[in-house]
């Protein structure tokens, strides 16, 4: 009886060892990525309205059907769901060898370039009357480094600007401007704490 138990135990041990080896092998296989993974992500993750895709720096890794680890530089044709026609937090998708990988990016509510002044509207709070004048002599050029140059009657003034997540923006200059971009145009409100009885709004058109 005792010998029978020992024989059965001796038979079980090799089976346990084989199962343990198989499980260990399977665990080792899981260390090799089967889907897409980033080796290096895109350098650019912030865009302005109308900007084109920049895939610089994007390199992915994946395992092919034969088990080979592949490294691939991402090209524009590998990317879908990229859109800068509207602002907000978004995700583009990289597709390589039928495998997908998402990348988050931000689009800010401003089209970079030059805007020419169109009209200035001044509203008198006390009389509740508005007056308008032509301001075609004012140009504003917005750059990707968050600076803009204001050209007015032969003078240049380079200042910084900021675009917020809610779509509004501000220009930090001797006067304070805040406003928004829409349909190739810019609407700016002038804020001046020293002038409380009037409200001034500036309108600009995008020229390139």
The pLDDT tens digits of the residues spanning 162-181 come to: 999 999 999 987 778 999 99
Taking alpha carbons only, the member of 102, 84, 105, 85 closest to residue 93 is 102
Stretch 179-204: mean pLDDT, rounded? Answer: 90
| 31 pLDDT higher than 70 | no
CA 134/CA 23 separation, integer angstroms: 78
Averaged confidence pLDDT in the chain: 87
* The pLDDT of residue 52 is above 60: yes
Is 148's pLDDT higher than 80? yes
pLDDT at 132 over 90: yes
Residue 39 has pLDDT above 90, yes or no: yes
What integer pLDDT is reported at residue 35 of this predicted model? 87
* Cα–Cα separations (whole angstroms), residue 182 to 19, 161, 164, 172, 196: 65, 17, 14, 20, 27
Confidence tier at 12 by pLDDT (50, 70, 90)? very low
Contact 168, 179 (CB under 8 A): yes
- Write out the E strands in 43-98: 46-48, 59-63, 69-73, 79-80, 88-96
- Tell me what pLDDT residue 28 has: 42
What is the residue whose two structure tokens read 């090209």? 75
The per-residue pLDDT for 65 is: 87
| Residue 200 backbone dihedrals phi, psi, to 5 degrees | -115, 130
User: For the chain, how big is the Rg over CA atoms in Å?
Assistant: 31
Quickly tell me which residue has 């923006």 as its tokens: 169
Give the pLDDT confidence score for residue 30 in this predicted structure.
44
**pLDDT at site 20:** 47
Confidence band, pLDDT 50/70/90 cuts, at residue 10: low
pLDDT confidence of residue 9: 44
Residue 122, pLDDT > 80, answer yes
Is the pLDDT confidence value at 29 over 50?
Answer: no
- Whole-number pLDDT of residue 192: 73
Q: How far apart are the first and last CA of the chain?
A: 96
């Amino acid at each position: 009886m005792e010998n029978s138990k020992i024989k059965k135990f001796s038979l079980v041990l090799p089976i346990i060892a084989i199962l343990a080896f198989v499980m260990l092998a399977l665990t080792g296989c899981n260390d090799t990525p089967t889907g897409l993974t980033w080796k290096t992500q895109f350098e650019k993750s912030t865009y302005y309205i109308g900007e084109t895709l920049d895939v610089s720096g994007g390199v992915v890794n994946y395992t092919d059907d034969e088990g080979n680890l592949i490294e691939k530089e991402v090209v524009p044709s590998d990317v879908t769901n990229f859109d800068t026609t509207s602002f907000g937090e978004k995700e583009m998708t990289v597709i390589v060898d039928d495998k997908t990988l998402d990348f988050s990016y931000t689009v800010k509510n401003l089209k970079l370039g030059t805007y020419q002044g169109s009209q200035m509207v001044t509203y008198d709070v006390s009389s509740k009357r508005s007056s308008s004048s032509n301001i075609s002599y004012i140009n504003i050029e917005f750059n990707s480094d968050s600076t803009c140059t204001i050209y007015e009657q032969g003078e240049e003034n380079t200042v910084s600007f900021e675009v917020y997540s809610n779509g509004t923006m501000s220009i930090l200059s001797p006067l304070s401007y805040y406003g928004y971009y829409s349909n190739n145009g810019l609407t700016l409100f002038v804020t001046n704490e020293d002038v409380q009885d009037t409200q001034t709004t500036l309108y600009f058109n995008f020229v390139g």
